[in-house]
Amino acid sequence: MAPSTRQREQAESLKAEGNSLFSKGKYGAAADLYTEGITLDPSYAVLYVNRALCYKKSSRWEQVAKDAHTALGLSRDLMKAHYLLGVAQRELGCQLAEAISHLVQQQQQAAAGCGQSGGPKGSPEQQQQAAMQQWEQLLQQAAHLDSRTEVPAAFTCPLTMEVFREPVITPSGCSFERSALLEHLSKVGKFDPISRQPMDESDIIPNIGLRNATQQYLDEHPWAWGEVV
């Protein structure tokens, strides 16, 4: 059964709380919140990725592999999940042969889907070697995406200097991280931090366009997540 809108909203809230704890190094507590979110919305693939990242911090490789595999079952486009699964299977060692075999099977299925016969050419040893090369290329590609550069200013909050999670826009057209802006309004004053225009909490609205653009950037540059999404 698909989760209700309310359940997805609660899962989103738990994810945000978990991300905050993760950024503070409280990986166990963050994992617990991601687990709560998964209970509410088992189809929310990002929660599995984030929990896998928590497990990675404590080298719990079997749990990393399980969550990454589940995430990929929900969304094959999660590069971070591919990366985590590859790293976990490499660390476990005993599962590397299984990973290679899985890649060979994927090659055969792809060939069949394209109307080709016989699957990948060569002996079983050659097929395994080709699969191993594909596996290493995947890890290298994911690692390259993890290489750090400077995040464009458009995707960072001018108050926190961190990547947007929940951007909102003020009447003057300035965007801020919601929690940072609310803290400013509460502790500093009822005005826009940049334009200084008078305002209060009722004046802010979600900046959905910026949130979507930031999410796309994060999907393409996983390192900018602060690791979690």
Q: Which helix (H) or strand (E) holds 228?
A: none
Tokens describing residue 63? 């749990």
Per CATH, the architecture of 5-145 is what? Alpha Horseshoe (1.25)
CA distance 204 to 170: 5
For residue 93, how many other CB atoms are within 10 A of its CB?
9
Burial (CB count within 10 angstroms: exposed 0-12, middle 13-18, buried 19+), residue 137: exposed
Instruction: Return the CATH number of the domain spanning residue range 153-225.
Output: 3.30.40.10
According to DSSP, residue 202 is labeled G
Entry pTM: 0.52
CA distance 150 to 117: 47
The CA–CA distances, whole Å, from 215 to 119, 151, 186, 218, 222 equal: 37, 13, 28, 5, 10
For residue 123, how many other CB atoms are within 10 A of its CB?
8
The CA–CA distances, whole Å, from 120 to 100, 124, 129, 130 equal: 13, 9, 11, 9
CB-CB contact of 51 with 38 (8 Å): yes
Tokens describing residue 78? 């999660």
In order along its 229 residues, the chain shows pLDDT tens digits of 778 888 888 998 898 888 888 878 889 999 999 999 999 999 999 999 999 999 999 999 999 999 999 999 998 877 778 778 877 887 887 545 555 554 454 445 444 444 444 444 556 666 556 655 665 665 555 555 455 556 787 888 888 777 888 999 999 999 999 999 999 999 889 999 989 999 999 999 999 999 888 887 776 665 565 555 5
Q: Which residues contact 211 (CB under 8 A, 6 or more apart)?
A: 164, 166, 167
Distant-in-sequence contacts of 50-55, Cβ < 8 A, 24+ apart: 50/15, 50/18, 50/19, 50/22, 50/228, 50/229, 52/81, 52/84, 52/88, 53/22, 53/80, 53/84, 53/227, 53/228, 54/22, 54/27, 54/28, 54/30, 55/31
Task: Give per-residue pLDDT as tens, 147-168.
Answer: 555 678 788 888 877 788 899 9
- Report domain extents, the chain: 5-145, 153-225
